[in-house]
């Protein structure tokens, strides 16, 4: 009988062959880690995406099988290398072509040369950032070059630096505090504050701006988080002419703009905290069909709309807070109005391909570390909506193809 490792290896072999054929047919280049390489695979069809996902999942399974249960216990991952690279702008100090010695790089970025070597050499093997083609000299890889050149990627890294300490302190927050309060978290302990994340950002506009930029980073490395999948997967197109879609906590409107572009017949109102809205307006993010409005989700909703979208919002809040947020909508809901939540559903263990489940579990535990909150499954969503108001009726959940985020829809049954 064929062993698991042989079965997995043959899945890797056949799916990579399918992908390779399609790439050759379309004249596409396979990404590598060389500085000049494309940084992402171009997937032109669903078959290509399936072949890539199948290969990734089989590789992950194969690797874990080969390592075995004991080695899987060893957390070989350490985010401090990424933190140093971000905080000391190391990628920006490496020339875009050519190389720089560790000594000169150390002087340029202000990191002791020994520490720098540790950090960069870790990043070379774990994150495929930088290269050391000649001993003692650093050059770019495709990834580090991207950090040097793309401000959204830099913002994503800065956000990682901001949040990574939360994971290390999550267990302390569990020991120290009994309940689920958003200001009693790994994030609060690691920042030595009694504020929750969003209170903290309110009084720090630069960090709030970086947070808004950082969120946009994820759709690059994790296409399954792309807002395009929400736009394709939700029937905005069937809303009546002039229908209003309120994107609550919509940040700088990057999701709202995607909805409006694909659906010029709807009006999108992007709501967020006053500082976030001011920043978005000052940066010229308003467009025809999109307006911004300052609104706190813990106060009564002022706009009557057909759709209230909450993308990556409720996962930030513990259950009691979610119920409070939903209740703030009740006074403006008209029969048939829809509340649409877009975030990952908490899956049953083993029910999804390994890579997808890993994204989702990663997000779930990050939400615990940062906000003492969590992802919910369908039953838990039903309970929360019902607790907020029984007139929310029965919810419907579905996941658009290729998406790691589900759509959870409640239709208002009251008058």
Interatomic CA distance for residues 247 and 268, integer angstroms: 7
Interatomic CA distance for residues 415 and 411, integer angstroms: 12
Rank residues 124 and 245 by Cβ distance to ligand SAM and give the closer one. 245
| Shortest Å distance, C-beta 270 to ligand SAM | 9
| Shortest Å distance, C-beta 308 to ligand SAM | 12
Task: Give one DSSP letter per residue of 308-360, joined into a string.
Answer: EEEESSGGGS-HHHHHHHHHTTGGG--TT-EEEEEE---PPTTSS-HHHHHHH
Rank residues 251 and 403 by Cβ distance to ligand SAM and give the closer one. 251
- How many residues appear in the chain? 415
Give the chain's count of helices (H) and strands (E): 16, 10
| Shortest Å distance, C-beta 238 to ligand SAM | 22
Which residue is listed with tokens 């399974």? 61
Rank residues 59 and 339 by Cβ distance to ligand SAM and give the closer one. 339
Rank residues 19 and 215 by Cβ distance to ligand SAM and give the closer one. 215
Q: Do 120 and 128 meet the contact criterion of CB atoms below 8 Å apart?
A: no
Interatomic CA distance for residues 278 and 260, integer angstroms: 20
| Shortest Å distance, C-beta 268 to ligand SAM | 12
Rank residues 341 and 410 by Cβ distance to ligand SAM and give the closer one. 341
Rank residues 64 and 296 by Cβ distance to ligand SAM and give the closer one. 296
Cα distance from N-terminal residue to C-terminal residue, the chain: 63
User: Which positions lie near ligand SAM, rule CB under 6 A?
Assistant: 198, 215, 249-251, 255, 272-273, 276, 296-298, 311-313, 316
Rank residues 55 and 246 by Cβ distance to ligand SAM and give the closer one. 246
Rank residues 181 and 296 by Cβ distance to ligand SAM and give the closer one. 296
How many C-beta neighbours within 10 Å does residue 139 have?
19
Interatomic CA distance for residues 405 and 398, integer angstroms: 9
Pairing of the two strands 100-101 and 396-398:
unpaired
Rank residues 99 and 161 by Cβ distance to ligand SAM and give the closer one. 161
Nearest Cα residue to 120 out of 93, 158, 156, 160: 93
How many C-beta neighbours within 10 Å does residue 406 have?
23
| Shortest Å distance, C-beta 276 to ligand SAM | 5
Rank residues 312 and 368 by Cβ distance to ligand SAM and give the closer one. 312
Those residues whose C-beta lies under 8 Å from the C-beta of residue 330, and which sit 6 or more positions away, are 388, 389, 391, 414
E-assigned strand segments in 354-398: 396-398
Phi and psi torsions of 178, nearest 5°: -75, -45
Residue nearest to ligand SAM (CB): 249
Q: What is the 3-state secondary structure (H, E, C) of 319-333?
A: HHHHHHHHHCCHHHC
Nearest Cα residue to 289 out of 323, 324, 262, 322: 262
| Shortest Å distance, C-beta 124 to ligand SAM | 31
| Shortest Å distance, C-beta 343 to ligand SAM | 9
């Amino acid at each position: 009988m064929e062993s698991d490792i042989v079965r997995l290896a043959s899945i890797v072999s056949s799916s990579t062959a399918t992908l390779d054929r399609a790439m050759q047919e379309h004249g596409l280049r396979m990404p590598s880690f060389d500085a000049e390489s494309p940084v992402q695979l171009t997937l032109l069809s669903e078959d290509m995406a399936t072949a890539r996902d199948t290969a990734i999942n089989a590789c992950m399974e194969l690797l874990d099988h080969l390592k075995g249960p004991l080695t899987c216990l060893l957390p070989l991952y350490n985010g401090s290398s990424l933190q140093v690279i971000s905080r000391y702008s190391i990628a920006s100090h490496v020339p875009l072509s050519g190389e720089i010695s560790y000594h000169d790089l150390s002087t340029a970025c202000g990191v002791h040369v020994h520490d720098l070597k540790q950090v960069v050499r870790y990043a070379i093997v774990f994150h495929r950032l930088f290269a050391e083609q000649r001993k003692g000299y650093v050059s770019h890889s495709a990834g580090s070059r991207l950090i040097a050149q793309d401000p959204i990627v830099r913002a994503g890294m800065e956000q990682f630096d901001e949040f990574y300490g939360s994971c290390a302190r999550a267990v302390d927050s569990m020991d120290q505090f009994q309940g689920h309060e958003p200001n009693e978290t790994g994030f609060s302990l690691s920042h030595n504050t009694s504020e929750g994340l969003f209170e903290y950002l309110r009084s720090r506009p630069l960090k709030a701006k970086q947070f808004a930029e950082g969120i946009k980073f994820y759709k690059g490395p994790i296409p399954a988080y792309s807002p395009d999948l929400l736009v394709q997967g939700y029937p905005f197109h069937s809303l009546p002419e002039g229908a209003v879609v309120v994107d609550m906590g919509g940040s700088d409107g990057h999701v709202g703009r995607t909805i409006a572009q694909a659906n010029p017949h709807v009006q999108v109102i992007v709501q967020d905290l006053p500082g976030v809205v001011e920043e978005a307006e000052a940066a010229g993010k308003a467009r025809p069909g999109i307006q911004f409005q300052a609104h706190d989700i813990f106060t009564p909703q002022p706009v009557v709309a057909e759709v209230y979208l909450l993308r990556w919002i409720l996962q930030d809040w513990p259950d009691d807070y979610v119920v409070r947020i939903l209740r703030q909508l009740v006074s403006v809901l008209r029969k048939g109005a829809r509340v649409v939540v877009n975030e990952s559903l908490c899956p049953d263990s083993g029910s999804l391909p390994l890579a997808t489940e890993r994204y989702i579990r990663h997000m779930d535990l990050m939400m615990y570390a940062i906000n003492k909150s969590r992802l919910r499954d369908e039953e838990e969503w039903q309970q929360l909506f019902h607790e907020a108001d029984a007139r929310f009726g029965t919810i419907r959940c579905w996941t658009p193809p290729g998406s790691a985020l589900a759509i959870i829809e409640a239709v208002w049954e009251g008058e």
